[in-house]
Structure 1
Amino acid sequence: MGKVARIAADIRRRNSLDAYIGWLLALLVTGLQLVAGFWTDQSWVTVIVSATMVLLLGIVALATAEIRRVLATTNFASPGRARVFIDRAQLPPLRGLLESSHRTVEIYGVQLGHIVHHLLPVIAEQATADCRFRLALLSPVYPDGEKVPWVNELGAVHGFANLEDVLRANIAQLRHWHASLTPKQRRNIEIRGFSAIPTASVILVDTDRTMGFVHVEPILHAIAPSDRPTFWVTKADSSKLYNLVVDHYHSVWTSATSLEDLAL
């Protein structure tokens, strides 16, 4: 995401408004001082030194906003420190993760229920600011339209006895929502369905960057999703584990079917 887009997104969410106001005031005062120096008999050395000092204060204010953003991101994951959460109650809110400034976010889930019912507006807003999203959910049918026979059995493990109905409802809602987006948002949000047996819900964040990390929530027998342990890992924690997860789920994405092409 570009710097201007990040600043615009921060202002829309009222993040670091004090820092941005200080930056804008510094720019305004710098401009006024330069104009005043042109129309008065002040020494140009005095004017330039004074304007430079004020401009430096503005740069400090802008740097303060950037530092706050970095600290918010590193609160989720930082190189050299894997994080393990016993259940979802310990996890930072998913909304906050999505609202942080990232380039790419990929979400692979059995049914993406929380995303579909609560976080689509956040994703649309971030897509407007050039964050790219991939959303992949389990499809109840194979690419040729044949029904996946084990979906409801998986649902019993996952805590949803009627998982097929839930999946069909979520796919219908995602299709309707995606069709209502602007062209730019649609370009930045891709949605696919996969029919491989899922063993975890996974989120991949900025995997092409040093600060990228992966979030893995294993699907465990008879343990409700809210009670499942989760771990986050960066390449600095374990490059082998990190690359294993990233490569596997990128292959899942490659073999998945576009939402529009699912024969439902």
Structure 2
Amino acid sequence: MKNVMLCAGMLLLTGSLAARAAESREQAYAIGADVDTTGHVTAIQVEQNVPASIAAVLTSAVKQWQFVPATRNGQPVSAHTFIYAKLQALPNASGQYDLHIRFAGNGPKFDRAGRQPPYPREAVHKRQAAFVILNATVQPDGRLADMTVSDRFAEWPVSASFKNAALKIARTWHFIPEQADGQPIATQVRIPINFTLRDQILTPEQVKILREAVRKETAAADAEAAQPGIQLPSEQLVALDSPLQPGAVATIISAP
């Protein structure tokens, strides 16, 4: 994810935050969750490298959320999914920070650490950026199938070299699938992939497209006003047919 995100672990050392800058900070987390036949979250698995203070906040928030339960043969069944949550630290009037924990989706989980798509050589030379969408199916064994790549923005077509690079790296990815009634299941996913460089060259029209995309994402997330500079659209995975659909997942606010 290329948006500027500061590690929440550096923000939250105890139960409160010292106000050092009047700007919001954000970090995303993938949280394992067991959901029963009534749609309630019964168990949560936060990754071990998450500080205990942050894990406690995330656990408290996620346990308040509820889902439309998974079904099999028309009957509700227990399920396991991965909830994507965003923790935002927003400055308040008292000079400290409020913590906002927002539901960002749920679905299979995968790890792209160290496995970024290869950047096309001619694009590096021309300092080009590109934004594509990978549509695929996460199979029960965790591999991807039925992969297709398309332009993320209709008004910003990208070359075949970017799409081929996305397909090449996607063939190496492995997911932890969702489960229903104790069995791994196939899930269709939509994965935005951003190709960006530190010194990329953008046309005025491309800058306009990016700013409009971020404006829409910001409005949809009910986030703060746009930050200085040109932000980039997120790379949040979207599960198109997860067996669990969000029911009551309102943003949780925790004040220090």
Q: Do both share a fold (TM > 0.5)?
A: no
TM-score normalised to structure 1 length: 0.25
Higher strand proportion? 2
Which structure has the larger Rg over C-alpha atoms? Answer: 1
Higher helix proportion? 1
